[in-house]
Amino acid sequence: MLAACGGEPTVDPLEIGDPERGREIFETGGGVLTGDGCIKCHSLDGSENVAPTMLGISARAGERVPGLSAVDYLRQSIVDPRAYFVEGFPLPMSTQLRNILSEEDIDALVAFLLTQ
């Protein structure tokens, strides 16, 4: 198990999905998303972009919305990105990901983000 900020135990990413597949989707679209995948708008290194960076998201995700675990927050943010706004950024990404990505792909993205 990984430890979240504050030492609270979280789920091992491998119990959620395939983090390597998630990385592929995030960085290249993985054959299911057009263009460059999620990295077109979200950085992995903390640099500014049009969407929040994913650097440290595994620690922040569990603290963003009271009552939601990191896994639930990340999943919700992928399938319904308009549910929670991150201050300082424009309107969130398209809600179409839930229609494009399979459950397995969503699990893989969540697993990958838990490694960040």
Sign of CA dihedral 88, 48, 35, 62: negative
The string of pLDDT tens digits covering residues 43-96 is 999 998 889 999 999 999 999 999 999 999 999 999 998 888 888 888 677 778
42-46: which pairs have CB atoms within 8 A and are 24 or more residues apart?
Answer: 44/116
CATH code: domain of residue 29: 1.10.760.10
Into how many domains does the chain fold?
Answer: 1
> Which of 15-19, 71-75, 88-92, 99-103 shows the lowest mean pLDDT across its residues?
88-92
Domain that holds residue 106: 5-113
What pLDDT shows up at residue 10? 59
Q: Percent helix, strand and coil across the chain, each rounded to 5?
A: 45, 0, 50
What pLDDT shows up at residue 2? 43
- pLDDT over 70 at 6, yes or no: no
